[in-house]
Amino acid sequence: MTTNELAIDPATSILLLMDFQNGILANYPDAAPGLISRASDMLSWARSTGAHVGFVRVAFEDSDYESVPDTNKMFSALAASRRFPAADPSSQVTNELAPLSSEPIFRKVRVGAMSTTDMHDTLAKKGITTLILGGIATGGVVVSTVRDAADKDYRIVVIKDMCHDADPDIHTVLTEKLFPRQASVATTAEFIAAQA
C-alpha cells in the first residue's frame, strides 16, 4: 500500500467511530484503553483538519425491541434481554470520546451502521465520499458497514488498530484478507502519517 492510497480530502471524508459505547467497551477491559487512545488520536486529527466526524451507537426504544423478529438470531436475544435502552448509560458514547454538538450520533438497531439509520442520506447531502472506519467488533459493525458502504460506492479506509474483536483470528482474517478487497487498511499511525 502506498501513502497516496491513504491520502484523503478532509472536506469529503468522515471519521466514523462505531460502537465506542460504555456497554460494549466494558466487555473488553484489556483492549478498551488502547482502542480509546487510538480513537482519540484519530479524533484529534479529524477535528484539526476539518474532516467530518460521526459516531454510531446501538440503542433501543421500546418499539425497537418489539419489532425484532425471532428470525434475527443476534438481535432477538438482545431484544429479549432489553439490552442497550436508548437513554441508558450503556448505550452512550464513552465520555473519553465525547462527541461535539456538531458531530452526528447515528442510533442503530441492527449490526451495520447504515442499515437502520439515515447515515447514507446524511453523508450524501454533505458530499461525503470517503469513510474512515473504526469500531467494535471487527466481525460485527465493521464488516457489516464495510460491505454495505462498498455496495454504496464509498471509498473506505479501515483503521485496523481502532477495531477489535473478541476472536483475534476473525480480526486478522478480516483486516488482512477480506477488507483489502474493498477498502484500504492501515494503522492509526500509518494513516495519520500519510496525511502529512
Q: pLDDT of 29-40, one tens digit each?
A: 999 999 999 999
Query: Which amino acid is present at 156?
Result: I
Q: What is the mean pLDDT of the segment spanning 131-145?
A: 98
Question: Would you say the pTM of this structure is higher than 0.75?
Answer: yes
* Residue at 158 is within a domain: yes
Which residues, other chains included, contact 48 with Cβ-Cβ below 8 Å and sequence gap of 6+? Answer: none
Mean pLDDT for the stretch of residues 35-56: 98
Residue 3 has pLDDT above 80, yes or no: no
Question: Which CATH number is 140's domain given?
Answer: 3.40.50.850
Q: Quick check: 196 pLDDT over 90? A: no
Quick check: is 89 in a domain? no
- Find the domain containing 156 and state its range: 3-58+100-194
At residue 55, φ and ψ (nearest 5 deg) are -125, 150
* Contact present, 160 and 42 (Cβ < 8 Å): no
State the average pLDDT for the chain: 95
Nearest-5° Cα angle at 60, 22 to 64: 160
What is the per-residue pLDDT for 17? 98
Position 46 in a domain: yes
Residue 88 lies in a domain: no
Inter-residue contact 196 to 8 (CB < 8 Å): no
From first CA to last CA, the distance across the chain in angstroms is 16
What is the pLDDT confidence band of residue 48, given thresholds at 50, 70 and 90?
Answer: very high
Query: What is the number of structural domains in the chain?
Result: 1
